[in-house]
Amino acid sequence: MEPNITSSAFPQSIGHFCPKGAGPKRERSGRSTFGLKHKHKLPVDWLFSGIMNSLSGKSVLALCRVFSSPLSLPPAIVGAVRVCHSGVNSKGTVFTKKRGYDITRNPHLNKGMAFTLEERLQLGIHGLLPPCFLSQDVQVLRVMKSYETRSNPLDKYILLMTLQDRNEKLFYRVLTSDIEEFMPIVYTPTVGLACQQYGLAFRRPRGLFITIHDKGHIATMLNSWPEENIKAIVVTDGERILGLGDLGGYGMGIPVGKLALYTACGGVPPQQCLPVLLDVGTDNQTLLDDPLYIGLKHKRVRGKEYDDLIDEFMQAVTDKYGMNCLIQFEDFANSNAFRILNKYRNRYCTFNDDIQGTASVAVAGILAALKITKNKLSDHKFVFQGAGEAALGIAHLLIMAMAKEGVPHAEAAKRIWMVDSKGLIVKGRSHLNHEKEEFAHEHPHIKTLEEVVETIKPTAIIGVAAIGGAFTEKIIKNMATFNERPIIFALSNPTSKAECTAEQCYTLTEGRGIFASGSPFKKVTLADGRSFYPGQGNNAYVFPGVALGVIACGVRHISDDIFLTTAEAISDMVTEEHLAEGRLYPPLNTIREVSFKIAVKIVDHAYKQGIASWYPEPKDKEAFVLSQVYNSDYDSFTLDSYSWPKDAMEIQDV
């Protein structure tokens, strides 16, 4: 029996492709003809081809999911879905010298069963694939059917990473078809679990593993990487993976996941991306005692030897890939993160996402919250649970944003309070590092966060210390007592480390809380029927767009101005409708559009400030950025075939 397809499965498509009076009609058999009788009758193959090609990836999945299995798809869909993916796309034919297994085992080239017969014959792979020809959309459907049979997030992660190893374009087509579904799998929170189990989940090497024993030979190691045109590198030493601590060599999952989002959310071509793990050992005794651990089995190397390794790495990367190569530091411990950022930020094209990316997305959420509180940034008082990379990064960007309101630096700093493991940071407290001293105020010492909130009476509390449940019932209720619209940001990752849940915030504040989190939370419906969609302050709103913009115009040094520009751009995209639903960020399913707009704003900012190195300056910056965005549609490998005049091809004989 043919499944019933409702109009909601393909909104507006039927009306768009059917002439007036045409549409789904039932014949006596009960089957839909999708057309009129006589001369106006529409060919079903043509209709479905038009519908499927007009839909977004997510709508295609919505339609595909109507069917219980690929076998139940009408032949018209199987044969007609996005046939252009197997043909010549807008970029024309791609030429490769590879043949046979080198094609099917290369994720950049492999199209699986989407290779046409002509391509299979010309590339020498006919017979190496089943005698079946599928469009990319049907391949997406096959992946989704397999994905939906897996209930364990780690199993879903492994399935997607295996797809990335096998067919890169299909992997990104799947990701972009439903970014809201897949982002929590390829990145936080599931990537944290994947890193913990990295030794067991390891299938095929992705990225470059550089160890302390390779010091003096990093330039040689970079030559091992097959791609030459690298524009973006994400590098970690695995010492502070999310809120999970030192995972050593298992930290490679973070650069891999991060760069997957560079492409899926920002459109940075994946072949221009390089994940790197700097393995200098681990202080995690559990890993050192584990016979299956795949990293260096000794304590972390620190001091001059460590610094020399970082120095050599930075020099080797820019020698090989140029000064415009973007180097993103990720999940370095506090003791190294600020030091390394300050050392290199004015010498290389680099940023630290834990400091600057987190700051940008948090400030974007606060700027959006101002649309609800109807006041200025300088009218607020902030208390941070945590005083590490994220807290200090957010605080400094808040000071920059307040400076735009005309607030002096010293005055802005007085509006920011921080609580670390020893309590409230105040003047006179011993062993404060330089970064924390700026936010140490004259005040008696207070040990607990509950007492701090009760005493300081902040308008906003921001959790970035990875202490699950730190925002207790008493703290949340106090915030609701002090403020008509309390701002409560539980930004720690993964979900288990969140300071409070969305439900706790909305319930305990009777729906008055302005909430954002680092990990995703589902919709919350209160007893009175009001529903809220918690805003996820995910760094993915920031780093893909920043990377695309920086790479596009060749920014040499990434200033904090770029991250404030990004925060303002994100908050500008939050509408009154979003705020009414509880959202402080644009819906996650619009993240590609968000990243694109950020990239265009950064390009515009870069040329105005004279920090772009791509000249001449493009007149149409949107078109300029768009021309560099990755396309997950399949390329055609059909050889250029033509003929000469007959007399010119005559074979000469003796």
Edge-to-edge, what's the strand order for the sheet holding 416-420?
423-424, 416-420, 382-385, 460-463, 487-490, 514-517, 535-536
Of residues 266, 273, 369, the one with CA closest to residue 591 = 266
Q: Token digits for 601?
A: 């704003």
Q: Is 622 helix (H, G, I), strand (E, B) or coil?
A: helix
Name the packing angle between helices 591-609 and 560-572 (round to 10°).
Answer: 140
Mention every residue, 6+ apart, whose C-beta is less than 8 A from residue 328. 232, 233, 234, 235, 258, 350, 351, 352, 353, 543, 547
The terminus-to-terminus CA distance of the chain in angstroms comes to 69
Residues belonging to the active site: 187, 258
CA distances from 93 to 219, 227, 283 (A): 34, 20, 51
Instruction: Spell 56-86 as b/e; 16+ CB within 10 A means b.
Output: ebebbbbbbeebeebeebbebbbbbbbbbbb
Q: In 3-state terms, what secondary structure has residue 591?
A: helix
> Which residue has 């797809």 as its token pair?
163
Pairwise CA distance, residues 475 & 453, whole Å? 7
340 touches 549 (CB < 8 A): no
CB 284, CB 245: distance < 8 Å: yes
Could you give the CA distance from residue 326 to residue 247 in angstroms, rounded to a whole number?
Answer: 25
104-139: burial string, b at 16+ Cβ within 10 Å, e else? beebebbbbbbbbeebbebbebeeebeeebbbbbbb
Answer for the pair 504, 554: CB distance below 8 angstroms, yes or no. Answer: no
- Closest by CA to 606, choosing from 594, 592, 590, 621, is 621
Kindly tell me the burial class for residue 30, based on how many C-beta atoms sit within 10 Å of its own C-beta (0-12, 13-18, 19 or more).
exposed
CA 648 to CA 646: how far, in whole Å?
5
| Residue where the block lists tokens 């925002």 | 471
Cβ-proximal residues to 633 (8 Å cutoff; 6+ apart), any chain: 84, 85, 89, 136, 169, 173
**Any idea what DSSP says for residue 93?**
B
**Collapsed DSSP state (helix, strand, coil) of residue 511:** coil
Peptide bond into 616 cis (omega under 30): yes
